[in-house]
Amino acid sequence: MNRPLVDGFGRVHRDLRISVTDRCNFRCGYCMPAEGLDWLPRGDLLTFEEIERVARLLVERHGIDSIRLTGGEPTLRANLPELVRLLAALDVDLALTTNGATLRVLAPRLRAAGLRRINVSLDSLYPERFAELTLRDDLPRVLDGIDAALEVGFDPVKVNVVVMRGVNDDELVDFARFGRERGVVVRFIEFMPLDADEAWSDRSVVGQDEIVSAIHAAFPLEPVERSSAPATRFRYADGGGEIGVVASVTRKFCDTCDRVRLTADGQFRNCLFAVDEFDLRGVLRSGAGDDELSSVLAGAVAAKWAGHGIGHVDFIRPARSMSQIGG
Ligand code: SAM
Ligand code: SF4
């Protein structure tokens, strides 16, 4: 490593999220409009070779030590295990975030390709509510996908729950129980203003304090020391595992954020909420060498702002929704 990715505030970036597709078979309202989006033309997507080149450069020259594959729904990208195999060869902690619907089939292949950690998004344990939220009647498949991931040895399996007021905030304790019984880490995520339908309001956010106190009343919790990871961790006092809360809204963690993003169409983003992107695909396809690519990456991080302003009058939503940016 010869050039850490440092921004103007001294924050060193080590965590890379790579979106491998903008397509999705679900329509979670907080992420994508019900009618779907116009998918990117195939030629606009970075190839596996291009993704691997950028990832390798970021790992070997710039100190990235953690990569998460996401989307859209990453399991819809053809031959995903092949990309996993390429990235697992790098010296990084590699994980995948998925809606879980295809894991019964894919989990063994992903594991064999070298993936160790998996995160499954799941926002309701009620079949009808799940179908309303995702516009797919797939709760049994997702639950079976979580079992499949556990069976082939993914460790940990984490379940991400976006908590929305009046939608699923009555399921906090049910999710805690689910995590304890299945041996998975449940992470509760505060609802962020990245929904395509722009229905978000601060009243729809259920904050960390409320989440933790509801669960603590049923299963007493104690805090785990904070790391640079976005989730604040709590363990069950009786040793029954742990939960995480990603409090991007009520406890914004921009001061310690170490994450950069690569979208499926090769745009490099220095913040989830950034309004500007850096056209890496253009640079890659212009025949640029590694030094030129490195300068673009380092310059993009150097240009990072102090943080998002959710809740402030001057907050500007990014032009693309979560499924297009890569959550
Ligand atoms: N399709 C995969 C999935 O659902 O896990 C990966 C992509 S999805 C965009 C990544 C994560 O972003 C999911 O955990 C999802 O719940 C979360 N997410 C999407 N929109 C969100 C929002 N408006 N606020 C908070 N989290 C959101
Ligand atoms: Fe698809 Fe994931 Fe967005 Fe749901 S959260 S619409 S599964 S990309």
Q: What is the pTM of this model?
A: 0.95
Q: Which atom of ligand 1 is nearest to the CA of 73?
A: 1
CA of 30 to the centre of ligand 2 (A): 8
Pocket of ligand 2 contains residue 122 by CB under 6 Å: no
> Is a pLDDT exceeding 90 seen at residue 176?
yes
In the prediction, which pLDDT does 160 show? 98
Number of domains in the chain: 1
β-bridge mates for residue 14, sequence order: none
CB-ligand 2 contact for 119 (6 Å cutoff): no
Domain that holds residue 300: 5-325
The Cβ-side half-sphere exposure at 248, using a 13 Å CA radius, reads: 20
Residue 246 in contact with ligand 1 by CB distance below 6 A: no
pLDDT, tens digit, for every residue of 235-273?
999 999 999 999 989 988 788 889 999 999 999 999 888
Ligand 1 atom nearest the C-alpha of 26 is 1
Percent over 90 (pLDDT), the chain: 78
Phi-psi region of 163 (alpha: psi -120 to 50; beta: other; left: phi over 0): beta
Question: Which one has a higher pLDDT value, 9 or 146?
Answer: 146
Q: Decide the pairing of beta strands 185-190 and 157-163.
A: parallel
Q: CB burial class (10 A; 0-12, 13-18, 19+) of residue 225?
A: exposed
DSSP 272: T
CATH for 107:
3.20.20.70
State whether the beta carbon of 97 lies less than 6 angstroms from ligand 2. Answer: no
Cβ proximity of 21 and 74 under 8 Å: yes
